[in-house]
């Protein structure tokens, strides 16, 4: 358990976003919401369900913010994905895979 509720299930994107206690950080962040939203497309109810205990207004605000600056947010998402791929490659190499 994290916070006061059960952990959300990994959704279509296979990303597991964990709600954290405290109003300042309730999900994996803006990039995570945008990333997962791409998998759900226009299915807002599915997106809300994916993030479980995260307030719907917070998700709506994150998506509105993204619509104002998509290029900047997309660059951050791409950079995070690039780093993740590099770290995975290094980890696999360290295991002899």
**Three-state secondary-structure class, residue 2:** strand
In the structure, what pLDDT confidence band is assigned to residue 5 with cuts at 50, 70 and 90? very low
pTM of the entire predicted model: 0.58
Half-sphere exposure of 92 (CA within 13 A, CB side): 7
Q: Torsions phi, psi of 76, nearest 5?
A: -65, -40
CA 11 to CA 88: how far, in whole Å? 21
pLDDT in tens, 50-90: 999 899 999 999 999 999 989 988 998 899 889 999 999 99
What is the C-alpha radius of gyration for the chain, rounded to an integer number of angstroms? Answer: 15
pLDDT, average across residues 11-20: 42
CA 70 to CA 95: how far, in whole Å? 37
pLDDT, average across residues 13-35: 56
């Amino acid at each position: 358990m994290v916070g006061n509720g059960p952990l959300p299930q990994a959704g279509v994107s296979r990303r597991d976003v964990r709600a954290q206690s405290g109003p300042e950080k309730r999900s994996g962040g803006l990039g995570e919401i945008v990333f997962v939203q791409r998998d759900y497309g226009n299915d807002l109810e599915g997106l809300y369900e994916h993030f479980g205990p995260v307030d719907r207004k917070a998700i709506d605000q994150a998506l509105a913010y993204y619509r104002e600056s998509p290029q900047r947010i997309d660059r951050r998402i791409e950079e995070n994905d690039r780093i993740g791929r590099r770290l995975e490659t290094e980890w696999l190499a360290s295991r002899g895979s």
